[in-house]
Amino acid sequence: MSTATARRLRKPLVSALALAGVGVLVLAGCSGGGDSGGGSGENPTTFEFLKNAENTTTEPILQALADDTCSAEEEAAPLEINSIPQADLDAQVQLLATQDGLPPMFSAGGNPAEGAKLWEAGYLVDFDKALTELGVRDKVSDGAVSTIEKLYGGAFNFLPYQYNIEGIFYNKAIFEENGWAVPETWDDLLTVAGEAKAAGLTAFAASGEQGWPLTRLVSGYIFRSLGPDAMQAVADGDAKLTDPEYVAAAQQIADLGAAGYFGDNVASLDYDAASNEFLTGKAAMIYMGSWLLGNINSDANQIGADNVGFMPFPAVDGGAGSIDEYPSNVGLPATFNAKTYAADNNVGAWLKCITENYGNEALKQGQITGFVADDTSIELPAISQTIKDTIDTSTDSVLWFEALFNAKASSISSTNAALLVTGQMTPEEFMTAVQTALDEG
């Protein structure tokens, strides 16, 4: 009798214990989410910066600031830099944003449309207000601010760690050896390219794997032949990329590929390999932006920094654009998380220190940024000085091919550029594919 009752009491007890035990074991596997990077509202104790791995120019300067001028801020909240591949950056930032896990500073806006979305959703700091509050608003150049506003939804919500103009870098020694004058028209450029190919060089070093170095040439031609508002017209719907004038631009670039001016195997050449082709003297010219100055002034440059010249994208005969309109951009900029920012916390202190000193520190390392560099004692290498002077005196700037595209059109444009120059896609097909993606919205 007593054993039966005891057994009856024990059975539910055993089952309940078993249930609890198994439940704990199973849930233990699911737990361990950890706390998110920046936290929100509190004073972050680490100044975390999430950037794209391809950006190698911002980190050394931030590091130099942390070691020297901003050492007090470094003590309060040490700088921590994390990198992820550029192709995954927009998706990762969106994911972090919706999970309230954005770090205090992060790179974004590789695709301006995506960057503008972050601004509209309220995740970014309004630097116009913030920098005025900190008293350092005048340390950012107006040209950079206007480019940022053009790209990112009309507000100053990204920081111009880079401010670049684009054009064609050329190997001075090769030009002198062959007696070529610096071309100022498109036809002259084609002549020089043809002679470069005949001399056994690659006329233009370009990365087909990245795609955008090739589409920059297309937009360069479009701006020169149709005027500086040509791509804005496409974005507004007043013109289509499938219009004959736009397709003609793509045709010009496809012809460059057909004539072999990009060298063999341009489709699989990646960014580093293309820059190295130029910096080791195998290519006569490379279309690139002033961010290349870092590599030009470094030891990796085998042709010598004095040997590199810079020319603007040439004019097109009878075109509506002018040779003085430089394509300019702010690279892949960085911005601050509105949730972890406050004028009086560690992040605010870092922002103030960076804004005041980044321009000069970057100039010391030969980089030109959108921050004002007022230290006149810094000597620049000749090529950097040329570019700085050009930036200071340029009257109007233009954007680039994918600047105002949505993410899908931007992706289609850069992944199909290599097919355009290797003849696997006709200019009509290329422009149609991009226009279709634009129309999808």
Alpha-carbon distance 416 to 427, whole Å?
11
Binding to other proteins by residue 15, rule CB under 8 A? yes
Q: How far is the CB of 127 from other proteins (least distance, A)?
A: 21
Binding to other proteins by residue 154, rule CB under 8 A? no
Q: How far is the CB of 264 from other proteins (least distance, A)?
A: 7
Q: Which stretch binds other proteins (CB under 8 A): 88-96, 139-147, 338-346, 386-394?
A: 88-96
For the chain, how big is the Rg over CA atoms in Å? 26
> Within its chain, how far is the Cα of 29 from the centroid?
40
Q: How far is the CB of 321 from other proteins (least distance, A)?
A: 29
Alpha-carbon distance 335 to 341, whole Å?
11
Q: Write each residue from 58 to 87 as x if it is in contact with other proteins (CB under 8 A), else as -, in one continuous string.
A: -----------------------------x
Q: For other proteins, which is the closer residue by CB, 117 or 150? A: 117
Binding to other proteins by residue 53, rule CB under 8 A? no
* 80: three-class secondary structure by DSSP: strand
By CB under 8 A, name the one of 73, 114, 166, 356 that touches other proteins.
114
Alpha-carbon distance 431 to 152, whole Å?
24
Q: How far is the CB of 39 from other proteins (least distance, A)?
A: 20
Phi/psi of residue 35, each to 5°? -95, 150
Cα separations (Å) of 145 from 74, 285, 327? 27, 30, 15
By CB under 8 A, name the one of 14, 199, 300, 320 that touches other proteins.
14
What part of residues 92-111 is at the interface with other proteins (CB under 8 A)? Answer: 94-95, 97-98
Residue with tokens 């071309």: 183
Q: How far is the CB of 263 from other proteins (least distance, A)?
A: 8
Phi/psi of residue 337, each to 5°? -75, 120
Per-residue buried b or exposed e for 359-372, using 16+ beta carbons within 10 Å of the residue's own CB? bbbbbebbbbbbbb
Q: Which stretch binds other proteins (CB under 8 A): 159-167, 349-357, 379-387, 418-426?
A: 418-426
Q: How far is the CB of 292 from other proteins (least distance, A)?
A: 17
Q: How far is the CB of 273 from other proteins (least distance, A)?
A: 4
Binding to other proteins by residue 268, rule CB under 8 A? yes
Task: List CB contacts of 156: < 8 A, sequence separation 6 or more.
Answer: 126, 127, 128, 140, 145, 148, 149
By CB under 8 A, name the one of 190, 284, 387, 419 that touches other proteins.
419
Binding to other proteins by residue 259, rule CB under 8 A? no
Q: Which stretch binds other proteins (CB under 8 A): 34-42, 134-142, 160-168, 263-271?
A: 263-271
Phi/psi of residue 352, each to 5°? -65, -45
DSSP secondary structure of 222-236: HHHHH-TTHHHHHHH
By CB under 8 A, name the one of 189, 193, 253, 266 that touches other proteins.
266
| Phi/psi-derived region of residue 268, left when phi > 0, alpha when psi is between -120 and 50, beta in every other case | alpha
Q: How far is the CB of 23 from other proteins (least distance, A)?
A: 4
Q: For other proteins, which is the closer residue by CB, 95 or 382? A: 95
**How many CA within 13 A on the CB side of residue 250?**
26
Binding to other proteins by residue 385, rule CB under 8 A? no
Alpha-carbon distance 77 to 61, whole Å?
17
Alpha-carbon distance 192 to 185, whole Å?
11
By CB under 8 A, name the one of 6, 9, 13, 19 that touches other proteins.
19
Task: List CB contacts of 255: < 8 A, sequence separation 6 or more.
Answer: none
Q: Alpha-carbon dihedral of residues 136, 140, 146, 148, nearest 10 degrees?
A: -90
Q: How far is the CB of 271 from other proteins (least distance, A)?
A: 12
By CB under 8 A, name the one of 51, 117, 224, 352 that touches other proteins.
117
Binding to other proteins by residue 286, rule CB under 8 A? no
Q: Name the residues that contact other proteins, by CB under 8 A.
A: 11, 14-16, 18-19, 22-23, 26-27, 30, 87, 90-91, 94-95, 97-98, 114, 117-118, 121, 208, 263-269, 273, 276-277, 406-408, 411-412, 415-416, 418-419, 422, 424-425
